[in-house]
Amino acid sequence: MSESTPHTGEQNEQTQEDRAAERHKEKMARHKAKVDAAIARAQEERGVVIVLTGTGKGKSSSGFGTVIRTLGHGYKAGIVQFIKGTWDCGEATILKQLDGLEHEVMGSGFTWETQDRERDQRAFDAVWPKAKAMLQNPELRTVMFDEITYMLAYKLLDWDTLKDALDNRPKDQNVILTGRGAPSALREYADTVTDMKMEKHAFKAGVKAQAGIEW
């Protein structure tokens, strides 16, 4: 009897492992079935509008990453920077070296730095036709309007004008719109909305912004 006890314990342990493995297998099978069903339902083929908003860090970085993904697949893309046009932006510096990218900037830089609405309006009016042309170019698979929400907030651009341009873009074109405070009309219109929440930020603790992290 004493010799059989360890053997029985090993059998019980093996049985528990087998049961755990079987439960995991069943769980993964259920998950796979859900994923397969979702893929089967999603058969419509068209471009999408993606909104990246919220107080958290990473909205522009996420958009730039998606543009890189587009270029990596051999498609062409376009970027318009509406706020950070005068900054030395690391992502844009790299992207402009890649084939297939159109890149435009709004020349006045940060609106709260100019403190001159007429100047900002002129800067916007100069870049908007170029941005609108991107939304009319079927060769551009993805177009990113970085910090476009500020143009709406400061009423340099009205929602109906933006909506009309989005409505009339090529069917397969994707558009990424970034910036804090995306209005409800834009959120409702978009196909995908990510609201990034800030829990902590080094800058608020007195850490100086640095190249390679903030821009």
Domain with 104 in it: 49-205
Please report, for the domain that includes residue 92, its CATH number.
3.40.50.300
* Residue 22 pLDDT: 81
Write down the pTM of the prediction.
0.76
88 located within any domain: yes
The reply to whether 141 and 103 lie within a common domain is yes
Tokens of 3: 């010799």
| 32 and 105, same domain (yes or no) | no
* % of the chain with per-residue pLDDT over 70: 81
Enumerate the H helices of the chain as residue ranges: 4-41, 59-72, 90-95, 111-114, 117-134, 148-153, 159-167, 184-189
* Number of domains making up the chain: 2
Question: Do 34 and 96 have their domain in common?
Answer: no
Give the model confidence (pLDDT) of 7-42 as tens digits: 666 667 678 887 877 888 778 888 777 777 766 776
| 74 found inside a domain | yes
Q: What is the pLDDT of residue 57?
A: 86
On whether the CB atoms of residues 100 and 142 are closer than 8 A, the answer is no
**Do 33 and 59 sit in the same domain of this protein?**
no
Assigned domain for 135 exists: yes
* Same domain, residue pair 78 and 27: no
Q: Are residues 147 and 106 in the same domain?
A: yes
The more confident residue out of 204 and 120 is: 120
Q: Are 67 and 171 members of one domain? A: yes
Domain assignment present for 215? no
Query: Is residue 136 located within the same domain as residue 89?
Result: yes
Is 60 exceeded by the pLDDT of residue 110?
A: no
Residue 211 maps to a domain: no
Mean pLDDT of the 102-112 span: 76
> pLDDT higher for 118 or 67?
67
| pLDDT tens digits, one per residue of 187-209 | 999 999 999 887 777 767 776 77
Is 194 in the same domain as 96? yes
pLDDT at residue number 209: 72
**pLDDT (average), residues 95-123:** 81
Is residue 214 in some structural domain? no
pLDDT value for 112 = 62
54 membership: H or E segment, kind and range: strand 49-54
Whether residue 31 is found in the same domain as residue 137: no
pLDDT at 156: 93
Are 18 and 75 part of one and the same domain? no
pLDDT grade, residue 46 (50/70/90)?
very high
Residue 48 CB coordination number (10 Å): 14
The per-residue pLDDT for 197 is: 86
